[in-house]
Amino acid sequence: MMQPIKKKRKKRTKRLYFTKVHEEAIIQYCITSDRYERDKLYGSLIQPAFSEMVDKIIYTYKFNNLPNIEVLADECKIWLTTILAKFDPEKGHKAFSYFSVITKNWFIQKAKKNTKRLQREVNCDDVYHQANNEQFITKNHYDENRAKREFWSALTGEIEGWKQMSLKENEQKTILAIEDLMNSIEDIEIFNKKAIYLYLREISGLNTKQLVASLSNIKKRYREFKHEWVNGDPIW
């Protein structure tokens, strides 16, 4: 009896929105002074790539929690056009990496400004509600928590980005353990650094030496993220 012929499934191809073609288009845009050629390169290749890059960064790093995010997204896309010609390929940076970092930093600055605005509103309310101190304390506590949520939301997105990198197996295990810790933080009673190490070691299955080595590299990435969050400066 003949076996039925199985149809081969077509492999899904990733939608590559920022390829070598787009990289070369940006370089050519920066080199040429011909207005017509620039407009053609931007309209056909660069603008669609920038648009999708911005949308993906908003989703990946959870900037969609910011108020008026659709307006901010449009503003960022326009801003990218104003700095496009400043890209210098001779510095050794890939266009995608360069514009991804400065776009992420642009949104980090917007998140910081939003946090400062909330804090200023709290300060104004402090004067206005002097007769009702309890109400002010409640609002101040709410806005502080909101600022913390924005930071943790951005950090969660940053960790998602780390997982896409080519990491060593132990680093991957450590990052997954950290994610598990962050997701379960309200259900776990951890009071000191040693307890955190024990918890991470138990989840990851790594010994102390392996865990410390992996955390060393992860801490560097965290310090870079926090530096960007505080200062908004790209780190190369």
Top-confidence residue, 132 or 91 = 91
In a domain, residue 119? The reply is yes
The total domain count for the chain is 2
Out of 17-31, 91-105, 168-182, the most confident range is 17-31
Pick the last residue of a domain from 147, 164, 181.
164
Instruction: Tell me whether residue 151 is exposed, middle or buried, using C-beta atoms within 10 angstroms of its C-beta: 0 to 12, 13 to 18, 19 or more.
Output: middle
Percent of the chain residues past pLDDT 70, beyond the cut: 73
Name the token pair of 192: 């000191």
Tell me the per-residue pLDDT of 177-209, one tens digit each, with 9 for 90 and over: 887 777 766 555 555 666 777 778 888 888 888
Regarding whether 136 and 213 lie in a shared domain, the answer is: no
Structure tokens at 58: 């908003």
CA distance from start to end of the chain? 64
What mean pLDDT is predicted for residues 146-155? 72
Q: How far apart are CA 38 and CA 31, in angstroms?
A: 10
Is residue 146 in a domain? yes
Residue 30 token pair:
């920066």
Q: For residue 158, what are the contacts with CB-CB under 8 A and spacing of at least 6?
A: 61, 221, 225
What's residue 62's pLDDT?
Answer: 85
In a domain, 231, yes or no: yes
Last residue of some domain: 164, 194, 212?
164
Burial profile 85-99: b = 16 or more Cβ within 10 angstroms, e = fewer: eebeeeeeeebbebb
170 in the same domain as 114: no
Q: Note whether residue 36 is domain-resident.
A: yes
187 and 104, same structural domain? no
pLDDT band (50, 70, 90) for residue 15? very low
Given phi > 0 = left and psi -120 to 50 = alpha, else beta, which region is 205? Answer: left
Which of 66-70, 71-75, 172-176, 192-196 shows the lowest per-residue confidence on average (mean pLDDT)?
Answer: 192-196
Among the three residues 125, 141, 164, which one is the final residue of a domain in this structure? Answer: 164
Domain that holds residue 153: 16-164
DSSP collapsed to 3 states, 42-85: HHHHHHHHHHHHHHHHHHHCCHHHCCCHHHHHHHHHHHHHHHHH
Which pTM does this prediction carry? 0.51
